[in-house]
Structure 1
Amino acid sequence: MKKIATLATALLLTACAKGPDAITPMSMPVNAYSGLSCNQLAAEHQKSTNALNAVSAQQRQAQTGDAVGVFLIGVPMSSLTGGDKEGAVAQHKGEVIAISSAQRNKGC
Structure 2
Amino acid sequence: MRRVVLLASIAALVWGCATPPEKISGVPNSGPCTSADRERLALLSNKQTKAANGDALGVFLIGLPVASMSGGDNETEIAILKGRCSK
TM-score higher than 0.5: yes
Pair member with larger Rg: 1
Unaligned runs of 5+ residues in structure 2 are none
Deviation string, structure 1 residues 47-79 (Cα, Å, up to 9, x no partner): 222111100000001001101110111000111
> In 1, distance between residues paired with 2:71 and 2:54?
12
Q: CA deviation at 1:88?
A: 1.4
Deviations 1:63-101 (A, max 9, x none): 01101110111000111110001011111101202xx4x
RMSD: 1.3
In the alignment, which residue of structure 2 is the partner of 1:26?
Answer: 27
| 2-structure distance, mates of 1:96, 1:48 | 8
- The equivalent residue for 2:84 is 95
Q: Is 1:86 aligned to residue 75 of structure 2?
A: yes
Query: Of the candidates 56, 60, 67, which is equivalent to residue 67 of structure 1?
Result: 56
Where 1:24 maps in the other structure, the secondary structure is coil
Aligned-partner SS, 1:83: coil
Q: Please state if 1:49 is matched with 2:50.
A: no
Q: Which portions of structure 1, spanning 4 or more consecutive aligned residues, are displaced by more than 3 angstroms?
A: none
Q: Which amino acid aligns with 2:74?
A: K
Partner of 2:13: 12
Higher helix share: 1
Q: How far off its partner does 1:26 sit?
A: 1.7
Provide the C-alpha distance between the structure 2 equivalents of 1:3 and 1:90, rounded to a whole number of angstroms.
Answer: 34
TM-score (norm 1): 0.74
Secondary structure of the corresponding residue to residue 36 of structure 2? helix
